[in-house]
Amino acid sequence: MSRKYNVAILGATGAVGTELLALLDERKFPLSKLKVLASERSAGKSIKFAGEDLIIEAVTESAFDDVDIVLASAGGSISKQWLPIAAKAGAVSIDNSSAFRMHPDVPLIVPEVNPEAAADHKGIIANPNCTTILMTVAVYPLHRVLPIKRIVAATYQSASGAGARAMEEVKIQAQAILNGEPAIPEILPYPLAFNLFPHNSPMTDNNYCEEEMKMVNETRKIFGDSDIRITATCVRVPVLRAHSEAINLEFDRPFSVDKAREILANAPGVKLVEDFQKNYFAMPIDASGKDDVLVGRIRQDISHPNGLELWLCGDQIRKGAALNAVQIAELVIAKSLI
């Protein structure tokens, strides 16, 4: 009989936490016991899992004593406070926040890209940023064949990236506008319904926002290549769920479009979606609820002989967050890293 594991979820009531619960059930994760941890404010409330009611427990230092795996999606400050305690208790934590992503002793994992890095964990494994996950799944298969010299990315990020409340805010704003009323922002800084704006993460000293710098720094760490040149422009768009990205790749010599298409059609976690005759390529509504990153519109960059262009869409809550975390947990189990 194969072993089963005690799992704890931090932040189960949010958009990613809800998806984590659904995926554990859907993927028949080898659960012995599932514990749902949150602040004292939520303690005692119940949450549905596999048709049963789970009682939310307040997170305490003793909450991790019998836990094998922690799936954390409760924000960076919560992760910094509790995950070192979980590690001391012997649990392996997979963290969806940015708290440990660039820590030199914490692996940053996309299972389709760098699963071998998980072996170096010291009790905490970081889940990358959503845009980074989606992009690396799509471009790493090409990088393996011919190293990428430069990536230029433009992202079109849905409200889901800001959480369940932001998704609801867009719906409320859209209805208000249709009723001739003002769209009042509360979760996001500006109205998003029928609008878009550069990503709302804090600006850094180089005038790139934090979201853009996450794509730069995290991709370099995941690829194990500090020399790869990366630039990004991240934009919040009025889409409820699933992010899109326009990617320009530069190699040191030409990369055949047909070869790139063949590679991506067979790459793990990728689904090729493109019909040039019908001008049909992946859209957020196609990617929502799907595990794969949908890639297409692969074409020669007419401005550079060594350039390729591609378009992708991926479910930010699923592969961009919860699914990647669950896949890391499955990897840890499969490689006996727990």
At 72-116, the pLDDT tens digits run 999 999 999 999 999 999 999 999 999 999 999 999 999 999 999
Does 236 appear as a known binding residue? yes
The least confident of 55-59, 114-118, 144-148, 326-330 is 55-59
pLDDT of 189 reads 97
Does 42 appear as a known binding residue? yes
Terminal C-alpha separation, the chain: 18
The mean pLDDT value of the chain amounts to 96
- Beta-bridged to residue 313, according to DSSP, are 244, 294
Catalytic hit among 121, 143, 199, 243: 243
Question: Cα dihedral angle (92, 288, 165, 197), rounded to 10 degrees?
Answer: 110
pTM as predicted? 0.96
Percentage of the chain beyond pLDDT 70 is 100
Angstrom distance (rounded) from CA 180 to CA 174 = 10
Identify whether the C-beta of residue 324 lies closer than 8 Å to the C-beta of residue 118. no
Q: What is the pLDDT of residues 4-60, one digit of tens each?
A: 999 999 988 888 999 999 999 999 999 999 999 987 888 889 999 998 999 999 899
pLDDT of 164 reads 85
pLDDT of 66 reads 94
pLDDT of 13 reads 83
Per-residue pLDDT at 294 exceeds 90: yes
Amino acid at 20: L
Token pair, residue 24, equals: 């554990």
Does 13 appear as a known binding residue? yes
- Helix/strand/coil (H, E, C) string of 276-317? CCCCEECCHHHHCCCCCEEEEEEEECCCCCCEEEEEEEECCC
- Beta-bridged to residue 270, according to DSSP, are 293
Token pair, residue 13, equals: 């009531």
Residue in 163, 210, 155 with CA at minimum distance from that of residue 186: 163
Q: Which residue has the tokens 């326009």?
A: 246
Does 16 appear as a known binding residue? yes
Token pair, residue 102, equals: 């660039």
Does 307 appear as a known binding residue? no
In 3-state terms the chain splits into helix, strand, coil percentages (rounded to 5) of: 35, 25, 40
Task: Between 289 and 1, name the one with better pLDDT.
Answer: 289
Q: What is the pLDDT of residues 193-218, one digit of tens each?
A: 999 999 999 999 999 999 999 999 99
Angstrom distance (rounded) from CA 206 to CA 125 = 28
- Establish whether 130 is a catalytic residue: yes
Q: What is the pLDDT of residues 222-260, one digit of tens each?
A: 999 999 999 999 999 999 999 999 999 999 999 999 999
Angle of CA points 138, 202, 16, to nearest 5°: 50
Buried/exposed 124-148: b ≥16 CB within 10 Å, e otherwise = bbbbbbbbbbbbbbbbbbbbeebeb
- Beta-bridged to residue 148, according to DSSP, are 251
Catalytic hit among 121, 130, 209, 234: 130
- Establish whether 209 is a catalytic residue: no
Amino acid at 16: V
Per-residue pLDDT at 314 exceeds 80: yes
> What is the rounded radius of gyration, in angstroms, for the C-alpha atoms of the chain?
20
Question: Cα dihedral angle (114, 289, 135, 267), rounded to 10 degrees?
Answer: 60
Percentage of the chain beyond pLDDT 90 is 93
- Please report the domains of the chain, with CATH numbers, ordered by start residue: 5-128+321-334 (3.40.50.720), 132-316 (3.30.360.10)
Per-residue pLDDT at 1 exceeds 80: no
E strands within the chain?
5-10, 31-38, 46-49, 52-55, 57-58, 69-72, 92-95, 124-126, 148-157, 197-198, 229-236, 243-251, 270-272, 274-275, 280-281, 293-300, 307-314
pLDDT band at 163 (very low <50, low <70, confident <90, very high): confident
pLDDT of 265 reads 98
Does 117 appear as a known binding residue? no
Q: Which contiguous run of DSSP H or E holds residue 18?
A: helix 15-26
Residue in 244, 151, 149, 229 with CA at minimum distance from that of residue 196: 244
